[in-house]
Amino acid sequence: MKILALIIVYNKRISDSLTFNNLKKIQQSFPSLDIVVFDNSTKDYKNKKYSLSHDIKYISKKSNVGLSKAYNIVLDTLSSRYNDNDLIVFLDDDTKVNKDYFIQLFKAARSKSKIDIFAPIIRGQDGVIYSPNNANFFKNHLLKDVKNIREIKNFNAISSCLAVRFRVYKKYRFDERLFLDEVDQKFCEDQRKLGRKFSLIYVVICQNFHQRDSQLDANTLWPRFKLRIRDIIVYGKLKGNQYLYIGFLKTNLLGIQYALKTKDSSLMTKTFKLSKYWMKEDIK
């Protein structure tokens, strides 16, 4: 069984990627672990040259195409090299992935051949378990303790460290109308509808979520939050009018939350205007 680890790099040298450096060490113990880098950087960080010198598969469109499109390009390019039961693991460039994750993933994948999707426990810098969770459009219901895993009716997980059998992608691709946020939410929703089977692997991965930092700066927050506003509204449109208006409410409540955190009231006005704009825009 092979595992393809996909790292999405954004405006960073691969050599500075925590994920990449961890994976190169882990790969020494797992010869069946392949690494591919998709470079979403908007500047040239000489990542192609670095990848070639380290025998790493490198893919780039020389721009930021977003997560969904990046995932699809990799699947279209490399899926034919893998069997149905092989796995692809999705990773950010700053994920503290560890050797134990792959040990447990290999064990689970071999012993649970009917499971399609595996998710580890993702804890944020605040100690909260953010993934897996119980999916809900307005706000996902988070687990207070991993022991509550059986309470999950709508299994949902973030993309980071999500491991998926290649058979899932025989007739499926990510929805490219979503750019960055909600890509994982839509994927898990689609897979639940298709009757795919999910499983937890009991490994804890620590993830730093910028928008959940205790101290935020409005100027650095806004460029990233703009993308989230857009995707929440678009996802609402994909689900129907009722969810569209709930999405509008959700984005503006987040705008208020971030305005209070950053002590910058202009975030509320900017959030309202941008949400209103995407409410009117057609999606293709």
pLDDT at 218: 94
Residue 259's alpha-carbon distances to 62, 149, 254, 270, in angstroms, are: 34, 34, 8, 10
Q: List Cβ<8 Å contacts ≥24 apart for 19-28.
A: 19/91, 19/92, 19/93, 19/94, 19/95, 19/97, 20/93, 22/95, 22/96, 22/97, 22/98, 23/91, 23/97, 24/54, 25/99, 26/97, 26/98, 26/99, 26/102
Q: What is the pLDDT of residues 171-215, one digit of tens each?
A: 999 999 999 999 999 999 999 999 999 999 999 998 887 766 667
- What pLDDT, on the 0 to 100 scale, is given for residue 211? 65
Q: How far apart are CA 106 and CA 121, in angstroms?
A: 16
Instruction: Tell whether omega for the bond before 132 is within 30 degrees of 0, i.e. cis.
Output: yes
How confident is the model over 207-242, as pLDDT tens digits?
887 766 667 899 999 999 999 999 999 999 999 989
Single out the residue of 147, 114, 148, 115 nearest to residue 134, CA to CA: 148
Sheet holding 155-156, edge to edge: 141-142, 133-134, 155-156
Q: What is the pTM of this model?
A: 0.94
Alpha carbons 166 and 5: distance in angstroms, whole number? 12
Report CA-CA distances (Å) from 6 to 161, 198, 241, 248, 272.
Answer: 10, 20, 35, 33, 35
Residue that the structure tokens 């792959």 belong to: 102
Looking at residue 239, what is its pLDDT? 94
What is the rounded radius of gyration, in angstroms, for the C-alpha atoms of the chain?
Answer: 19
Find out whether 105 and 85 touch, Cβ atoms under 8 Å: no
Q: Structure tokens of 190? A: 């689609």
Task: Compute the residue count for the chain.
Answer: 284
CA 133 to chain centre: 14
Question: In the prediction, which pLDDT does 40 show?
Answer: 96
Residue-wise burial string across 172-191, b where 16 or more C-beta atoms lie within 10 A, e elsewhere: bebbbbbbbbbbbbbbbbeb
Q: 163 - beta bridge partners?
A: 89, 118
* Tens-digit pLDDT profile for residues 123-165: 988 889 999 999 999 999 999 888 888 889 999 999 999 999 9
- Does an H or E element contain 130, and which? strand 129-131
Domains of the chain as residue ranges with CATH: 3-208 (3.90.550.60), 212-280 (no CATH)
- Report phi then psi at 40, rounded to 5: -95, 15
Q: Residue 214: its pLDDT value, please?
A: 65
